[in-house]
C-alpha cells in the first residue's frame, strides 16, 4: 500500500485499486481490482470489478474491504467504505446542468425515441445517437459543454417511452426550416443508419414518416 493519503471524498471512478479483502469464510487476500461498476446504498454497497488475482470479473462487498489504495498513485484511502459511498453519490449525481440540458432536448427526444422504439427497445447504437443529439441540442444555444452526465441520461432514456401524440406535438412545434427541426432530421438519418436489419429500418422509417420527418430517399 502507498504512503500518502488521498481524500476519500474525491475518489477516482472508475479506477484501479489495491485492496485487502476478507471473504465470507474470513480468508484475507491482497488483490488488484479494476472497477467498472459501483452500486448499493449506505447500509450496503458493492463494487463490480475485474480481479487480477482471480483473473475474472468479481463483485466485492464494500464492508469487507479492509484496506484500499489507488494502484496508480499509491495513495491510501483511509476509509474504504466511506470512499465507496462517496463514489456511489458521485456516480449518481447527474450534474448541475442536467435538468436544463434535458429540458432543451425533450421535444427532439420525444420524436427520435418514439421512432427508435418501433421495435420497443433501444439498442446501444440508437442510444449513442440519442446521447449525441442531446449534446448537439445543448450546443445550439451556445451553452455547450455544460456539466451533465451521459450515463445518467442513458438511464433516463432507457425509461423514457413517449406517446405518439407527444412525438407529433413535438415535431409540429418546430419552426419551418428551423435549426431544431434540421438537427432532429439529421439524427433521424443517423438513427436509420444504425439499424441492424431491413425490418428494423423499415419500422423506424415508417414512424418517422408518420411524424412528417423526411429523410434521404423520401425527399
Mean pLDDT of the chain: 84
Q: What is the pLDDT of residues 66-89, one digit of tens each?
A: 999 999 899 998 888 888 877 777
Segments of the chain assigned E as strands: 5-6, 16-22, 28-41, 44-51, 56-61, 65-70, 76-77
Strands 76-77 and 5-6: parallel
DSSP code for 200: H
- Here the cell at position 149 is 452526465
> Which residue is listed with cell 500500500?
1
Q: What is the pLDDT of residue 214?
A: 83
Scan for cell 481524500, then name that residue.
7
d(CA 125, CA 191): 8
CA–CA distance, 204 with 167 (Å, rounded to integer): 13
Share of the chain above pLDDT 70, in %: 86
Amino acid at each position: 500500500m502507498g504512503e500518502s493519503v488521498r481524500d476519500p471524498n474525491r475518489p477516482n471512478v472508475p479506477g484501479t485499486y489495491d485492496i485487502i479483502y476478507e471473504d465470507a469464510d474470513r480468508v484475507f487476500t491482497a488483490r488488484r481490482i479494476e472497477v467498472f461498476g459501483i452500486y448499493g446504498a449506505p447500509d450496503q454497497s458493492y463494487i463490480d470489478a475485474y480481479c487480477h488475482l482471480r483473473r475474472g470479473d468479481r463483485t466485492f462487498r464494500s464492508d469487507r474491504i479492509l484496506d484500499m489504495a489507488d494502484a496508480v498513485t499509491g495513495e491510501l484511502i483511509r476509509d474504504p467504505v466511506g470512499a465507496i459511498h462517496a463514489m456511489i453519490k458521485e456516480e449518481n449525481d447527474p450534474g448541475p446542468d442536467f435538468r436544463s440540458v434535458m429540458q432543451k432536448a425533450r421535444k427532439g427526444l420525444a420524436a427520435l425515441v418514439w421512432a427508435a422504439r418501433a421495435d420497443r427497445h433501444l439498442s446501444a447504437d440508437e442510444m449513442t445517437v440519442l446521447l449525441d443529439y442531446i449534446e448537439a441540442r445543448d450546443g445550439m444555444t451556445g451553452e455547450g459543454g455544460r456539466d451533465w452526465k451521459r450515463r445518467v441520461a442513458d438511464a433516463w432514456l432507457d425509461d423514457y417511452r413517449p406517446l405518439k401524440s407527444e412525438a407529433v406535438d413535438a415535431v409540429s412545434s418546430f419552426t419551418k426550416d428551423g435549426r431544431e427541426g434540421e438537427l432532429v432530421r439529421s439524427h433521424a438519418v443517423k438513427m436509420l443508419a444504425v439499424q441492424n436489419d431491413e425490418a428494423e429500418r423499415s419500422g423506424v422509417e415508417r414512424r418517422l414518416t408518420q411524424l412528417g420527418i423526411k429523410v434521404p430517399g423520401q425527399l
